[in-house]
Amino acid sequence: MDLELDGRVALVTGGGMGVGRAICRRLAAAGAVVAVNDIVAERAQSVTDEIRKAGGRAEPALFDITILEAVQDGVARIVESAGPIDILVNNAGVVPERRTGEIGLPTFIEMDPAFWAKIVGLNYTGVMNCVFATAPAMVERKSGRIISVISDAGRAGEARMAVYSGAKAAILGFSRAIAKELGPHGISVNTIALSAVAHENPIAGFQQLDATPENNETLRKVLRSYPLGQGLGRLARPDDAADAIAFLASERAAYITGQCLGVNGGFVMS
């Protein structure tokens, strides 16, 4: 199916690995010019090189999404080199243990309040910064797509991840609000919700790409909460999220806005 993305400029935050890498590759394969955002130069350049080697168009976009001025400067550089941003994918985000290096997490009342800002900054403030930096130009052109990746932790709540759950829930409410504000300007705003995802650099063994219910007992138990995951014998993969993003970015989704698409094997149904 032709997604009609040829020549569109897409900014993907957190594009240097995992789900972000898959999104960048999928959008580029559909014809988009992809700005691969990351704070680690090697990751952004690696994905850029990968896309170019496959015949696509991409460039690294190095900036910290938690700093508004850095985002505005980064967006200006993208516009200068590639053209106006047509598609914003807010993918960057991290569960708390990825920022701390710890697997065991405290409850909310055990958590150091100084750590709240780090979680909220990356998972929510960064989304607002990127929308603030890109949406005005979309309004001028009467066209644009804004898609944010949230977590089912933000829809259902997750013990020992209260601040993270709150930040992801905030993105959902924010997205629905700006969908109402930006819709009259021809801009759609949607989210996709993920639960556990198997990827190339997991902390937990059950999230390894080669894990199966047969070779990983923990995965077999985890899949009890994923109706379709049980049937397929796996968790979501980065490409599952990338395909959903590509659809929402395309003309095939021209009349869809304010929606949350669960790409989660049925973990949360709504």
pLDDT in tens for each of the 270 residues of the chain?
678 899 999 999 999 999 999 999 999 999 999 999 999 999 999 999 999 999 999 999 999 999 999 999 999 999 999 999 999 999 999 776 444 444 467 889 998 898 899 899 999 999 999 999 999 999 999 999 999 999 999 999 988 899 999 999 999 999 999 999 999 999 999 999 999 999 887 778 899 999 999 999 999 999 999 999 999 999 999 999 999 999 999 999 999 999 999 999 999 997
Tokens 């690995």 belong to: 17
- Name beta bridge partners: 146: 88, 189
Q: How far apart are CA 14 and CA 47, in angstroms?
A: 11
Residue 76: burial class (beta carbons within 10 Å; 0-12, 13-18, 19+):
exposed
Predicted confidence at residue 1, as pLDDT, reads: 63
Identified catalytic residue from 124, 164, 226, 255: 164
Q: Model-level pTM? A: 0.95
- Domain 9-195+237-263: assigned CATH number: 3.40.50.720
Annotated catalytic residue 164: yes
Query: If you count them, how many residues does the chain have?
Result: 270
- Helix-helix angle 126-141:162-182, to 10 degrees: 10
Number of separate helices (H) and strands (E) present in the chain? 11, 7
Question: Taking the alpha carbons of 218, 224, 226, 227 in that order, is the dihedral positive or negative?
Answer: positive
Answer yes or no: are the C-beta atoms of 200 and 18 closer than 8 Å.
yes
DSSP letters, 73-134, are HHHHHHHHHH-S--EEEE-----HHHHHS-SS---GGGS-GGGHHHHHIIIIIHHHHHHHHH
> Domain map of the chain by residue range?
9-195+237-263, 203-235
Q: How far apart are CA 3 and CA 160, in angstroms?
A: 40
Residues with Cβ < 8 Å from 80, sequence gap 6 or more?
A: none
